[in-house]
Amino acid sequence: MTHAFWWALFIIYELSIFYYSAGTFGNFLRNLGYYGINISLFYAHLYLLNKCLGQAKKKYFRLLYLVSAELVLFVSIKIAIDIYTSNFNMTPENMWNTVKSMATLDLYRCIFFIGLSSLFWTASNISNFERKALITERDALTLETKLARSENALLRQQINPHLLFNSLNFIHSTVYKVSEAAAENVILLADILRFSLEDTGSDGKIFLDSEIEQLHNLVRINQLRFGQKSIINFITTGEKPGYRIIPLVLMTLVENIFKHGDLSGPGTVIRLEVSEAGLLRFYTRNKCLAKSPYPRLKSIGLANIRIRLDFAYGGKYSLSSKEEDGIYESELTLSL
């Protein structure tokens, strides 16, 4: 609708000047054909500009070729309208000179509308660029705000563990006077908490030796918890130099033993093997508690582990678990 309004003003302006100069509006059919062709040329050239220059890869030579073809086509159509709407009562030589004059004028008019279309395209793209720049700036400010909030939240999270560790140190100092075993438990728990809060590498992994160290801490905590009745056979084999793994997966599988297993007497096995080719096999076995009020490590627990393993290892792992005759077993195999 806006374009139609401006085209109407343009046509009225030009016809008014022609009427003021010649005292007539000219041939109606010819005017209708001319303005139809000129407006079509305007939008045809706009389309070519968008196709050749409106993309990431600019096609200047293709645009030059298409504009040349565009000029030939539209000038030819205009000359045909000139000849069809004119009454030539003159000698052939004079008629030929008249047609050449018309062709020259048609060429100039085509160049004028191509230039007008180019100016419109340039102005539109400058406007679009400014709008995109404003949107980009707005998004950058939004991102900066979110980043500031995240940094603030991270600082708060760093302060909270600091207070927690100070409290654990105080508890350790106090409890040590009463029970060395309880004080040792506090230190082991603080070590595990500190490990869970440590930053990982850019790949989201930590050294396998660090995870194994915390497995020993977790086993020690529960041995102190259950006393001599708890017999846990924890075996590690294979060299582990420089191997890395996503943290807390093995810890979660071991914690499941102490949460749901019956640790009275022998039968609890934790075995970690690393082959020369870097293949890790982690196996756990324990007796099940009779009528445990807690569900086994299925649904959420096992599903969460699988999500993390899928993200980090894709299809390069296998995780299975089963419960049979009061014995629960889990096995994780992955390529480090």
Domain end, chosen from 109, 140, 171, is at 140
Tell me, yes or no, whether 15 and 133 share the same domain: yes
| Among the listed residues 208, 202, 193, the one whose alpha carbon sits nearest the alpha carbon of residue 247 | 208
pLDDT at residue 166, rounded to an integer? 61
Evaluate if pTM is beyond 0.85: no
Rounded Cα distance between 65 and 142, Å, is 45
Indicate if 257 and 132 belong to the same structural domain.
no
What does DSSP say about strands 230-237 and 265-274: parallel, antiparallel, or unpaired?
parallel
In a domain, 48, yes or no: yes
**What range does the domain containing 13 cover?**
2-140
C-beta of residue 210 within 8 angstroms of C-beta of residue 217 = no
- Output the tens digit of pLDDT for each of the chain's 336 residues: 788 888 888 878 777 877 777 667 766 767 777 788 888 888 888 888 888 887 767 777 888 888 888 888 888 888 887 777 766 665 666 667 777 787 788 888 888 888 888 888 888 777 666 666 667 777 777 777 766 666 555 555 554 565 565 666 657 666 666 677 777 777 777 777 777 777 667 777 888 888 888 888 888 887 777 665 667 888 888 877 788 888 888 888 888 888 777 777 677 889 999 988 889 999 999 888 776 555 554 545 677 888 888 888 887 899 998 888 888 899 999 988
Longest dimension (CA), the chain: 128
- From the CA atom positions of the chain, what is the Rg in Å? 41
Rounded CA separation 190/173 (Å): 13
Instruction: Please check whether residues 224 and 315 belong to one and the same domain.
Output: yes
